[in-house]
Amino acid sequence: MKATINNFKIDLSKPIDISLPLSNTDANPIAWYIDKPVIEPVTFENWIGKVSEGSSTNFNNIFFNPHGHGTHTECLGHITTEFYSINQCLKQFFFMAEVISIQPEKRNEDFVITKSQIEDSLDGSAPEAIIIRTIPNVSDKKSKNYSHTNPPYLLEEAATYIREIGIKHLLIDLPSVDREEDEGKLLAHKAFWNVKNTTILNEDARLDCTITELIYVDDSVSDGTYLLNLQIASFENDASPSKPVLYSLEAN
């Protein structure tokens, strides 16, 4: 099946999934000091919701945390006193997106992504969404326990620049856009969403903008422009597990 958008041909039969699956195995990525997800059948006395145990259906409970257990998309409700839901903030699901690859720079004990790196990689473009693949793009990103590892992160200046050029959706292959231990400052989150006060939200805060973390962009995907389909589950929560999918563009 093919479609045409903005004078580009898109083959919808060739999706590029950049999400990480959620499982109850050691292959599941983990962040923020929690254990792996739990997926187990419901039990009632002698009844077990598992076909191999005699039930007519498989009937599992799943216990997970969207922020710590894989690819997730969050809204500014992640950092505000007032409740905001990703299900209410994200109402559009297709965007023109730019995939860029960046090798974080070493600053003291940290590795960081700077404004100049973002600016140079975009080379004057200002897409609706930006997808940041960090270098080196090692395969253990897909199963790493990030807790206590001080992963790379965005400097506040980089997040501010992304906001100022009008990018509304930020996707990255790290557990957070901010430093793992930052004393709760969350400078990049606040800069991207333009949140100046987490208790009383300013009128120009970006309610319809999202951050997606813990993606994985395979090396076979070249830097460049794609159509992004940002899929979420309808959770009334600040974040939802998500499935960002890219489609290659062909000039019409």
Predicted local confidence at residue 114, as pLDDT:
98
Predicted local confidence at residue 63, as pLDDT:
98
Q: Which run of H or of E encompasses 232?
A: strand 224-232
| Nearest in space to 228 (alpha carbons), one of 243, 209, 250 | 243
Quick check: 188 and 229 in contact, CB under 8 A?
no
Q: Give the model confidence (pLDDT) of 12-27 as tens digits.
A: 999 999 999 999 999 9
How far, in Å, CA of 145 to CA of 26, rounded? 9
Q: With 0-12 CB in 10 A as exposed, 13-18 as middle and 19+ as buried, what is 78?
A: buried
Per-residue pLDDT band for 39 (boundaries 50, 70, 90) equals very high
Predicted local confidence at residue 225, as pLDDT:
96
Predicted local confidence at residue 119, as pLDDT:
98
Per-residue pLDDT band for 159 (boundaries 50, 70, 90) equals very high
Q: Give the model confidence (pLDDT) of 185-222 as tens digits.
A: 999 999 999 999 999 999 999 999 999 999 999 999 99
Per-residue pLDDT band for 5 (boundaries 50, 70, 90) equals confident
List, as own/partner pairs, every contact residues 104-110 make where C-beta atoms lie below 8 angstroms and the sequence separation is at least 24, other chains included.
Answer: 104/134, 104/135, 104/152, 109/150, 110/150, 110/152, 110/153, 110/179
The answer as to CATH 3.40.50.740 being correct for domain 2-28+66-251 is: no
Predicted local confidence at residue 173, as pLDDT:
98
Radius of gyration of the chain from its Cα atoms, rounded to whole angstroms: 19
Question: Above 80 in pLDDT, residue 120?
Answer: yes
Q: What is the mean pLDDT of residues 241-250?
A: 96
Predicted local confidence at residue 108, as pLDDT:
94
Per-residue pLDDT band for 140 (boundaries 50, 70, 90) equals very high
Predicted local confidence at residue 174, as pLDDT:
98
* Mean pLDDT, rounded, of the chain: 96
Amino acid at 84: Y
Question: Above 90 in pLDDT, residue 33?
Answer: yes
117 token code pair: 């790196």
Quick check: 237 and 72 in contact, CB under 8 A?
no
Q: Give the model confidence (pLDDT) of 63-119 as tens digits.
A: 999 999 999 999 999 999 999 999 999 999 999 999 999 999 999 999 999 999 999
Q: What is the mean pLDDT of residues 32-54?
A: 96
Cβ neighbours of 209 (radius 10 Å): 21
Contacts of 119 (CB under 8 A, 6+ apart): 161
How far, in Å, CA of 19 to CA of 240, rounded? 12
Per-residue pLDDT band for 231 (boundaries 50, 70, 90) equals very high
Pairing of strands 169-172, 72-74: unpaired
Evaluated on CA atoms 204, 205, 206, 207, the torsion sign reads negative
Angle between helices 115-122 and 156-164 (to 10 degrees): 40
Percent of the chain residues topping a pLDDT of 90:
95
Q: Where in the chain are the domains?
A: 2-28+66-251
